[in-house]
Amino acid sequence: MRNAMSVDVEDWFQVGAFETVIDRRDWNGLEHRVEANTDAVLDLFAQAGVQATFFTLGWVADRFPALMRRILAGGHELASHGWDHARVFTMTADQFRDDLSRARTALEDAGGQAVTGYRAPSFSIDTRTPWAHAVLAEAGYAYSSSVAPVRHDHYGWPGSPRSLHRPLRDAALVEWPITLARVAGREVPAGGGFFRLLPNAVVERAVVRSNREDSHPAMFYFHPWEIDPGQPRVARAPLRSRVRHYARLGAMAGKLRTLLARHDWGRSDAIVAAHADGL
Ligand SMILES: [Zn+2]
């Protein structure tokens, strides 16, 4: 079964973990590494013959339009990760509408292709944002991959469906939650920092379980900064955030190469379209 390989395209200073110590107004003056790191991710995918979905910040598309065109030229899907990584539960419905629209304009202007997929920063669609899926449907999105159906210290919507589903009765919009992996009696998102920190087998088991037991494609994700051991260190961030952000960055590219070879991976939009009839 084909599973979704996705990348959340944001720079090392735009992550939720550093939100309290790096002001958005200072972003322009920081060292921008997202373009080189995303190019390295494109190389990894090209070597593996994998096409993926790049959920990209409008802020990044605005500054690096040529990178958006290289993503599309590789046969990948360019999708939205919002404008500047504001989490959905910090916004009103109107602010969310504006954030979506600003990001989409930047992505579509840069890439010249329609954007139909969205991922909320830090999986921030949950019980606090009961209007979010309706706003996405009104804006014409085909799907969202914005829910972590688990309890985590920063995010999560425990009890939400765990696989592709239609969250609204009167709209075709599909929600594709992040796949969960089981480790030491807990469930964690199959991707990002957990993938970096844990043996590959934990995520591989989650993919196989999703495919075999539940007959559903798995959704995996990571960030370009996760393959960049040379990124600047944010010394004043909380210890817990630093441990999560910096651990095993040097191992990530090799782990990804192994994972890419182990399963069948593709773009989210194509997989959603292939499964939509059965939902
Ligand atoms: Zn993100």
Task: State the burial class of residue 213 (Cβ atoms within 10 Å of its Cβ: 0-12, 13-18, 19+).
Answer: exposed
Separation of alpha carbons 7 and 4, rounded Å: 10
Residue 218: pLDDT over 80: yes
Report whether 175 contacts 147 (CB < 8 A): yes
Task: Indicate the SS3 state at residue 130.
Answer: coil
What is the average pLDDT value for the chain, to the nearest integer?
95
Burial-class residue 165 by CB neighbours within 10 Å (0-12, 13-18, 19+).
Answer: middle
Per-residue pLDDT at 174 exceeds 80: yes
Determine the distance separating the centroid of ligand 1 and the alpha carbon of 193, expressed in angstroms: 12
For residue 215, pLDDT over 90 is answered with no
Kindly give the distance from the C-alpha atom of residue 53 to the centroid of ligand 1, in angstroms, as a whole number.
13
Q: Where are the beta strands (DSSP E) in 119-204?
A: 143-144, 174-175, 180-183, 186-189
In degrees rounded to 5, what are phi and psi of residue 83?
Answer: -80, -60
- The pLDDT assigned to 13 comes to 94
In angstroms, what is the span from residue 258 Cα to ligand 1's centroid?
23
Query: What's the CA-to-centroid distance between 8 and ligand 1, angstroms?
Result: 5
Confidence of residue 53 (pLDDT cuts 50, 70, 90): very high
Question: pTM value?
Answer: 0.97
Q: How many whole angstroms from 3 Cα to the centroid of ligand 1?
A: 20
Find the mean pLDDT for residues 126-133.
Answer: 96
Q: What is the pLDDT of residues 199-214, one digit of tens each?
A: 999 999 999 999 998 7
Question: Residue 152 pLDDT > 80, yes or no?
Answer: no
Q: Give the pLDDT confidence score for residue 235 in this predicted structure.
A: 87
What spacing in Å lies between the alpha carbon of 213 and ligand 1's midpoint? 29
In the numeric block, which tokens belong to residue 212? Answer: 């075999």
At 19 the pLDDT is 87
Ligand 1 center–CA 125 separation, angstroms: 13
| Joined tokens for residue 185 | 């009696």
Residue bearing tokens 């080189």: 36
- What are the Cα distances from residue 208, in Å, to 37, 219, 258, 269, 275? 29, 12, 15, 21, 18
Determine contact, residues 13/228, Cβ cutoff 8 Å: no
Q: What is the pLDDT of residues 251-278, one digit of tens each?
A: 999 999 999 999 999 999 999 999 988 8
Alpha-carbon gap, residue 92 to 131, rounded angstroms: 9
